[in-house]
Chain A
Amino acid sequence: MMTPATVSETAHPHLMGRASRGWRAARATGLGVGSAFMADGAGVVLLAVADARSRAGASGGYLLFWAGLALILVPSAAVLLLSQRGRPARLAVALGFGLALYLAKVVYEPTAFTFHDEFAHYRNASNLLASGQLFGYNPLIRTTAYYPGLAVATDAIVHLTGLSVYTCGLILIACARLTLVGALFLLVDELLGSPRAAGVAVVVYAANPNFLYWDAQYAYESLALPLAILAVFFIARRMGQRPSRPAILCCLAAALAVVATHHLTAWALAGLLLAWSAAGWIRRRRSPDAAEYIPLLPAVVTACAVIAWVAIVAPITVGYVSPVLTRAAEQGAQLAIEHHTSRTLFANSGQAATAPRWEDMAAVAATLLIIAVLPIALLRIRRTGLPVIAKLLAVSSLVWVALLPLRFTADGQETANRSSEFVYLGIALCFAFLLETFLASSRWRRMLALGMVILLFAGGISVSWNYSQRLAPDYHLVNGSATVTPDDLALARWMLADLGPGHRVATDAETGLALGSVGRQDVLSSAEDGARVWQIFYPRTVNSGVLAEIHRSQAQYVVVQLDVLDLPTGVARFDDSEPTGYDEAPLPAASLSKFGNSTAFREIYAAGSLRVYQVVDSAGGQ
């Protein structure tokens, strides 16, 4: 829209020229922002078509997927990196970019939650809706129940709108995504004083492997991480000045919400605030004239809240997180001392399709690019007078480098991958700082900068999600034991309606997700209640061992998914904790059909490859 000119402006030829230039600039801004949004829309449509073709088993989905992502990335990155647009225009484009990438996850499955952790969080929201009680039992991931921030926020929207948990969850995570992208933009803009650098940071952060799907899923981290960045934004200032009291209060509120929502994010936030306080104190001691703000109050309050929450509300968290970290540390040490790798990069397990070679190359190239850029950026940042928090975030990118070798280990890989969404904040800041100078120089340098962020993004997407699962599954081709099928969900709804909630059910992992969430049944799991489900399923006959485990685990129903027979060897069939050896041979059909031949069980439900058996008598196992 043209800015209205004043009378004096229109009277003077020189000022008329300025007004005309202003109008042209305004139109160019509108065109740039509008084009980026239109491209975002077109990209989302292409992603929807890609998923639809994948569901229908048609070809072309893969190309459409990348074309859709390119349509979202390139115009937005061009506006954010190359244009001369102002701050609001860049922020608008950044928000559109983040939202469009969130919609990539929505069109993947727009009718129900399908990612593993989403089922667990659905159960938390359902428990709270049904009982009004916090911390209800969650057989899928017990720990999640003790971080009810996501569930209470979802249920509040459900109560208010009458919409389903699924729809409210989508709305909530969409708001969280907007907060994440917006808060990151504003934070980097504040720290580096450049909206262009802020735009770079958003695009580079979106290249983290967990941005597209993992942190777009309905899960606690997807809500907590944006709030943590928001908390830091509230109190971060360009010259390290002290923020206002309302800003500190907002930071405290956001930090407390994080503590009640997600353990790792809360720990990371507390650690960052404590480190910020310590570094600020050191800087003040070295140069007493420095006006560096020390966020002691937010740091102490957050740290105390984290400790109190874990000690009083969620001591289960320690047992949940520590094995993962311990295994990663052990394998990391093994790698460092013995040079023993337990994982091959880009290798697929089972019979899953492998990604094209160019994706692997893009991932490696992106990794090398980060390794090359970080030292340069860190050295330059060290010499600047940037505030402590900016330097801390930049240094935190080294954690990514330190964890990189863990990708060569089977158990450490998860830790390395799951840290991406945190450490990419530092990587994004480093790239923003370095590329800002690039973008202010010659044309070829600007194009080089654009090429770099495109490479980072392509590399990040390549390792973001298993290639064979990156597009929506075709239920006609997918094995019922590898995904939650429509029959699983129908069974879950039937069990809840006809048998009621809270029955103890022995089944395979995927069917258990449907029954434990939509069905609100207490599925057995080794990790959550110590049940040894494999001892129920593997024997060929209903022997005393089967009955003993049923008796011990108090199973009331056994749900058999016959498609488990088709699973390849080397893959856990019923529980991630089942001992090695069980999965080395094909599963005999008798292992699953035995329940129908025993008087200890009564078949009560059949649909497709699913059979439900009620436990009539497990006395033989006493």
Chain B
Amino acid sequence: MTSRHGNSALRAIVPAIGLSLVFLVLAGLGLAALHALNAITTALAVGIAALAATWYVARGIAEWKTRLRPLAIAGVLVFAVASVLAVHYSAASATTDADGASSLAVWAYPAGDRLQVGIQQPPGRGEASLRVVVNQDGITARAWNDIRLAPGQTWEAPALTLTGSGPVQVVVLNAGAVVASVSAAQD
């Protein structure tokens, strides 16, 4: 596929990347159609694509060597480092913002004849000492005190078996104040 412009390494890189994508799509489709899209078959397919791409690009490697410019390479390196730093900084900023906007989650749902109860401390908050109370018909059925949760940590109660059919409420308290609750009607 050389043209009148010759086949510089840089010129060859573009079709090599593009054809790798094409190969990835077509090989992936074939493997998925055969229900054989897994790590081994993918590694084989990508290995073949990588070899072909390397061969394609390597045809222009002689020209590549003579055309390398230290200032250009320095620029590319600066771009690469700046991009990594920018993405890392942005990821840290986004994570902090998302963590800060997260809320304590509480759940209570029946699984068979048992009740699954759990809470998750949001990642953006500090460690908390929580109290979880399960009420049925307004009467405390179970309670867990001093549940210490680190940011982002989840706590799940042992599966509960409740007798009676009255309404169930799960309340989460922090320093005596209700911070979350779920009012789950019992079957």
Question: B94 contacts A604, CB within 8 Å?
Answer: no
Q: Which of A108, A111, A128 is packed against the most chain B CB atoms within 10 Å?
A: A111
The CA-CA distance from A152 to B95 in the complex, in Å, is 29
* Smallest beta-carbon distance B65→chain A, Å: 9
In Å, the complex CA distance between A233 and B3 comes to 11
- Chain A's closest residue to B95 (CB) is A111
Docked complex Cα distance between A108 and B8 (Å): 35
Q: Of the candidates B11, B14, B37, which one forms a contact with A152 in the assembled complex, judged by CB atoms under 8 Å apart?
A: B37
Q: How far is the CB of A220 from chain B (nearest CB, A)?
A: 10
User: Which of A85-93, A346-354, A388-396 contacts its partner?
Assistant: A85-93
Q: A55-B94, A498-B107, A596-B183 are in contact. Are A128 and B32 (CB under 8 A)?
A: yes
* Binary contact readout A39-61 vs B (1 if CB under 8 angstroms, 0 otherwise): 01110110111011001100000
Chain B residues lying within 8 Å of A56, measured Cβ to Cβ, are 93, 97
In the bound assembly, the distance between CA atoms of A596 and B167 in angstroms comes to 12
**Cα(A237)–Cα(B1), bound, Å:** 11
B181 to chain A: which residues have CB within 8 Å?
606
Residues 71-84 of chain B, each 1 if its beta carbon lies under 8 Å from chain A, else 0: 11111101111110
Measured between alpha carbons, how far is A238 from B107 in the docked complex, in Å?
A: 66
Which of B99-132 touch A at CB < 8 Å?
99-110, 116, 118, 120, 122
- The complex places the Cα of A47 from the Cα of B89 at a distance, in Å, of 11
Chain A residues whose C-beta falls within 8 Å of the C-beta of B33 in the assembled complex: 134
- Contact: A490 with B28, CB < 8 Å? no
B83 contact from A34, A41, A612, Cβ within 8 A: A41
Stretch at the interface among B40-48, B133-141, B143-151: B40-48
A603 to B105, CA, bound (A): 13
Is the CB of B15 closer than 8 A to any CB of chain A? yes
Interface size class of A (residues with CB under 8 A): 35 or more
CB pair B83 A88 closer than 8 Å: no
Among B73, B86, B95, B120, find the residue whose CB has the most chain A CB atoms closer than 10 A: B86
A1 x B93 contact (CB < 8 A): no
Shortest CB-to-CB span from A24 to chain B, Å, is: 12
Q: B76 CB to closest chain A CB, in angstroms?
A: 5
Chain B residues within 8 Å of chain A by Cβ, number: 85
Contact (Cβ within 8 A) B21 A223: yes
Question: Contact at A606–B24, with CB atoms within 8 Å?
Answer: no
Pair A494/B69 contact, Cβ less than 8 Å: no
Docked CA distance A65–B43 (Å)? 40
Complex A-B: 22 CB contacts under 8 Å: A34-B73, A34-B74, A36-B75, A45-B82, A47-B86, A48-B87, A51-B94, A91-B10, A106-B87, A133-B32, A152-B24, A156-B31, A178-B17, A227-B22, A238-B3, A472-B94, A476-B100, A602-B109, A603-B182, A605-B109, A607-B103, A608-B102
Question: Which A residues fall within an 8 A CB radius of B?
Answer: 1, 3, 26-27, 29-31, 33-38, 40-42, 44-45, 47-49, 51-52, 55-56, 87-89, 91-92, 95-96, 99-100, 103, 106-111, 128, 132-134, 148-149, 152-153, 155-157, 159-160, 172, 175-176, 178-179, 182-183, 185-186, 189-190, 223, 226-227, 230, 233-234, 237-238, 243-244, 246-247, 250, 253-254, 256-257, 260-261, 472, 474-476, 485-487, 490-491, 494, 498-499, 596, 599, 601-610, 612, 614, 616
Which B positions have Cβ atoms within 8 angstroms of A? 1, 3-5, 8, 10-11, 13-15, 17-29, 31-33, 35, 37-39, 42-43, 45-46, 66-76, 78-83, 85-87, 89-91, 93-95, 97-110, 116, 118, 120, 122, 180-185, 187
